[in-house]
Amino acid sequence: MTSLDAPSGNIALLIDADNASAAHFDPVMTVLAELGTVNIRRAYGNWSKTSLKTWAALSIAQAIEPQQQFDLTKGKNATDMKMTIDAMDLMASGRVSGFGLMSSDSDFTPLVTRIRQQGIPVYGFGRMNSPEGFRRACTRFIDVVALAAAEEPIASKAPAPARAPKADEAKTAPAKAAPPAAASAPAPASVVKKAVDAEVIKLLIDAYDSVKRDERGFVRLGSVGQLAGNRSSFDVRNYGYKRLSDLVQAIPNFITESREGGQVWIKRVN
């Protein structure tokens, strides 16, 4: 699913600041590195609103261009139209090889569809309760909540420093045995994995059945992933996994095998 060579594409990240959290910016940038370098970073909204204060501070630190759009009519959001116009201009320029859209707004579905018709990938970043049509229109749709959880550093809590006993305590308090070394630091918690739903399992099985197998019934995982990607916008990170091979290993329907060159092959067992 990823090349050994570093991607060299020119990527545009367009942020619906009224509809996205600044806390998810860093994980989104990590994912977009799969496509190339995010040279264009724009955040759209009415910057006079206090709710965009966090985005305003982040725009300075991360070289994000704030795009001002006033609320021209109460209850109507003109931000979507401004984002759409800019995306079409960028696409027409021929300088952009991939897009990232931070939004959960289904109004962007026609835009995503049009960009993909041009052969340009679009990664959507929003919440899993985003309308299905928008999620499926994207090349990949990534749940920002699951993505942020997977990106959080795992840190053990340091034990509280021991308090020196008072003079009278030192005389009366009985000596306590030192705790065993294993109990001094709790084991780091692992990222919670979500159950892979039946629709994704069927998608992988259908892709497996469509690929030519070797004499032992194995197929190259990369071929399965490519076919599955053509039919769905699902992303393994939505389930708490970093690679497709990790997700497949967690499904009892398949067994995996590593071969020369680090390639992963899989075989359906039920």
Domain boundaries defined on the chain? 9-151, 198-268
- Bin 131: left if φ > 0, else alpha if -120 < ψ < 50, else beta: beta
Answer positive or negative: Cα dihedral of 83, 84, 88, 89.
negative
User: Do 156 and 186 meet the contact criterion of CB atoms below 8 Å apart?
Assistant: yes
User: Do 78 and 69 meet the contact criterion of CB atoms below 8 Å apart?
Assistant: yes
User: Do 38 and 63 meet the contact criterion of CB atoms below 8 Å apart?
Assistant: no
pLDDT (0 to 100) of residue 260: 83
What is the pLDDT of the chain when averaged over all its residues? 81
User: Do 62 and 41 meet the contact criterion of CB atoms below 8 Å apart?
Assistant: yes
Interior/surface letters 94-131, b for 16+ CB within 10 angstroms, e for the rest: eebbbbbbbbbbbbbbebbebbeeeebbbbbbbbeebe
CATH T-level topology, domain 198-268:
Nucleotidyltransferase; domain 5 (3.30.420)
Range name among 29-33, 238-242, 264-268 with the lowest pLDDT average? 238-242
186 pLDDT tier (thresholds 50, 70, 90): very low
Q: What interhelical angle do 109-117 and 79-93 show, nearest 10?
A: 0
pLDDT (0 to 100) of residue 89: 97
Residue written as token pair 């996994």:
241
Q: Average pLDDT in the 236-256 region?
A: 86
pLDDT digits (tens, 9 = 90+) for 15-46: 999 889 999 999 999 899 888 999 999 999 98
157 pLDDT more than 50: no
Identical fold between 9-151 and 198-268 = no
pLDDT (0 to 100) of residue 11: 95
Q: What is the pTM of this model?
A: 0.68
Question: Domain spanning 9-151: which superfamily?
Answer: 5'-nuclease (3.40.50.1010)
pLDDT (0 to 100) of residue 158: 45
* Nearest alpha carbon to residue 253 among 217, 205, 210, 218: 205
pLDDT digits (tens, 9 = 90+) for 199-212: 888 888 888 888 88
Range name among 5-19, 146-160, 235-249 with the lowest pLDDT average? 146-160
